[in-house]
């Protein structure tokens, strides 16, 4: 690869922000975009909620269905880095796509509400990041409000998420009493309200070698400052040591405190994050070999397909994570699954406020390809003789299930076609019961069912009847362990679309009962 391209790849930082709804992900994303000059005004990303969003057809669809496409990928430049933020919807649009998006990033930022600590959705998304072993950076938000004690929050990280943490900075007070941040990493203090706490409107005070402010300073009179120093001392003695290697392996999360809403601590977070966040990392192929992002030839995989962006054209966009080389508009690639050659002429790149035609992109970037039905989730495309196929994306265990059938029995054909295509596309999971061959749909979020129903009707002219069967715990078993007599009233034995057997358990109790009864049968939550 030529040097200028190597530099381009090395400048990429591709990450996702994960959080539970309302922790402040949108607010922090906006701040980051503002620093990068990608938007001019706060409230732009949030337009979805306030109805400020513009006009085009597909935006209308987004609004109707609550799917946000505009903000699914945001690219901007900041201090010579090209940053790609991938959105992981936490709200009503939570779906398998949310998990799969995490397969396309090199690191993740976890936003936590200081008042609430670790919430369920954060935990789920964290676990996917953990499985991938990517670096995870923590931003504890809403410091301008009274929240949990900082030490308690670190303890929660270690106990609930089982990850070691290292505080990069430490709050001096919080809520109305927030005086500043003790920046342990940069050895300085960021003053929260210079007009009240500082001298001459200073915002930053450097620390001396002992880690204290030299000489006289109003903030030194506060017991909160003394308290922060004591906490830091305790953490330096008894806490985890800073380790770049552990951060890179996802074993240690650097923790930053701040307030996204008042833009306090966010820029320091971004600057420090960019120091440690990895540039594009190698992705593994099906044989477990790593494909170097600096390889000359282009390669990438599809991690998300967004259908029906424009109802008039029924178009779809396949989101591709570029894993190596350079994308050139109009290039020829091979689709690994079919070995078919495809010309990539119709492509788009995502910006904060718009989509524009992309001419060139490199490893680490995300591009959108208009798709006429060529692509499936997980597909690899490559240039020339590279002949690579990236490892399969994991199947995530659905938590919600519905029985589904065609309303009109005369229209079985379009029903089956629709189900088959939507399942192939990865929009929803399909299972069949062993005895009766009933169709059961599985999803991780309610929206997936709604989209399924909507698309069956509008794209395949098939009205469906969906009967909820409630939440279940799905666990795969090895085909050789299968004995149909293991099925009981508390579990449902089904097979997935690859014919792998799995049990849908009523609840934890039913699953434990099963595990006790069949101790040699391994139950797996990922395939
Ligand atoms: P999300 O994307 O993670 O769901 O969260 P979002 O940024 O939408 O923030 C959720 C709410 O929390 C918003 O308030 C937002 O203003 C508030 N918020 C975000 N960061 C901070 C912070 O640092 N401090 C404080 N005090 N609040 C914060 P809202 O009332 O739901 O919305 P809005 O009326 O402000 O738009």
User: Residues 226-240: what's their mean pLDDT?
Assistant: 93
Mean pLDDT score of the chain, rounded to an integer?
87
Q: Give 49's pLDDT tier (boundaries 50, 70, 90).
A: very low
Nearest-atom number in ligand 1 for the CA of 30 is 7
Does the structure show a pLDDT above 60 at 382?
A: yes
Rounded to the nearest angstrom, the distance between the alpha carbon of 73 and the centre of ligand 1 is 21
CA distance 324 to 380: 12
Residue 111 Cα: closest atom of ligand 1? 3
Ligand 1 atom nearest the C-alpha of 145 is 26
CA-nearest residue for atom 26, ligand 1, is 142
Enclosing H/E stretch for 281: none
Are 450 and 64 in contact, with CB atoms under 8 Å apart? Answer: no
Residue among 27, 88, 258 whose CB has most ligand 1 atoms within 8 A, to mutate:
27
Q: What is the ipTM of this complex?
A: 0.97
Q: Are strands 107-113 and 12-19 parallel, antiparallel or unpaired?
A: parallel
Tokens of 366: 């995300």
CA angle 480, 486, 487 (to 5 degrees): 120
The protein residue whose alpha carbon is closest to atom 17 in ligand 1 is 24
Ligand 1 site residues, Cβ closer than 6 angstroms: 19, 21-27, 141-142, 144-145, 259-261
pTM here is 0.88
pLDDT of residue 65: 47
Q: And the tokens for 415?
A: 């029903």
pLDDT score at 273: 96
- Structure-model confidence comparison of residues 30 and 427, the more confident one: 30
Annotated binding site for GTP: 19-26, 87-91, 141-144
Per-residue model confidence as pLDDT tens digits over 497-506? 889 999 999 9
Most confident of 217-226, 309-318, 424-433: 217-226
Task: Report the residue among 19, 21, 22, 23 best suited for mutation to probe ligand 1: largest number of ligand atoms under 8 A from its CB.
Answer: 22
- Nearest-angstrom CA–CA distance, 503 and 501: 7
Cα end-to-end distance, the chain, whole Å: 35
Nearest-CA residue for atom 28 of ligand 1: 261
Give dist(CA 508, CA 318) in Å, integer. 37
pLDDT at 419: 94
């Amino acid at each position: 690869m030529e040097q200028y391209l190597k530099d381009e790849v090395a400048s990429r930082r591709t990450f996702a922000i994960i959080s539970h709804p309302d922790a402040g992900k949108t607010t922090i994303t906006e701040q980051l975009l503002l620093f990068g000059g990608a938007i001019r005004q706060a409230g732009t990303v949030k337009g979805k909620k306030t109805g400020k969003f513009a006009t085009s057809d597909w935006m209308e669809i987004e609004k109707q269905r609550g799917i946000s496409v505009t903000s699914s990928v945001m690219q901007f430049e900041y201090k010579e880095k090209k940053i790609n933020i991938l959105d992981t919807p936490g709200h009503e649009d939570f779906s398998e796509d949310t998990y799969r998006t995490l397969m396309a990033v090199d690191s993740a930022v976890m936003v936590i509400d200081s008042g609430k600590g670790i919430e369920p959705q954060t935990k789920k998304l964290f676990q996917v990041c953990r499985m991938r072993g990517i670096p995870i950076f923590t931003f504890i938000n809403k410091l301008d409000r009274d929240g949990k004690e900082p030490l308690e929050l670190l303890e929660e990280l270690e106990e609930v998420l089982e990850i070691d943490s290292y505080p990069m900075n430490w709050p001096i007070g919080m809520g109305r009493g927030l005086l500043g941040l003790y920046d342990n990493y940069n050895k300085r203090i960021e003053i929260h309200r210079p007009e009240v706490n500082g001298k001459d409107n200073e915002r930053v005070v450097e620390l001396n070698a002992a880690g204290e402010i030299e000489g006289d300073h109003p903030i030194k009179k506060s017991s909160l400052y003394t308290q922060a120093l004591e906490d830091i001392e305790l953490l330096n003695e008894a806490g985890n040591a800073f380790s770049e290697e552990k951060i890179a392996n996802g074993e240690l999360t650097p923790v930053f405190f701040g307030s996204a809403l008042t833009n306090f601590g966010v820029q320091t977070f971004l600057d420090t994050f960019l120091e440690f966040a990895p540039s594009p990392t190698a992705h593994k192929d099906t044989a477990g070999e790593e494909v170097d992002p600096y390889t000359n030839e282009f390669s990438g995989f599809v991690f998300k397909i967004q259908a029906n962006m424009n109802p008039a054209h029924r178009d779809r966009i396949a989101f591709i994570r570029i894993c190596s080389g350079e994308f050139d508009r109009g290039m020829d690639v091979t689709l690994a699954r079919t070995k078919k050659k495809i010309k990539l002429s119709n492509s788009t790149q995502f910006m904060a406020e718009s989509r524009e035609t992309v001419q060139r992109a490199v490893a680490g970037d995300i591009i959108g390809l208009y798709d006429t039905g060529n692509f499936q989730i997980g597909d690899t495309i490559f240039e020339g003789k590279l002949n690579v196929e990236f490892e399969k994306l994991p199947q995530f265990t659905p938590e919600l299930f519905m029985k589904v059938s065609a309303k009109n029995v005369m229209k079985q054909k379009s029903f089956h076609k629709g189900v088959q295509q939507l399942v192939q596309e990865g929009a929803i999971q399909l299972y069949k019961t062993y005895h009766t061959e009933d169709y059961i749909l599985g999803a991780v979020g309610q929206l997936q069912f709604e989209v399924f129903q909507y698309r069956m009707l509008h794209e395949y002219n098939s009205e469906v009847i969906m009967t909820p069967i409630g939440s279940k715990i799905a666990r795969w078993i090895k085909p050789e362990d299968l004995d149909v007599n293991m099925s009981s009233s508390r579990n449902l034995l089904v097979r997935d679309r690859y014919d792998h057997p799995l049990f849908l358990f009523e609840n934890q109790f039913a699953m434990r009962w099963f595990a006790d009864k069949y101790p040699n049968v391994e139950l797996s939550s990922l395939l």
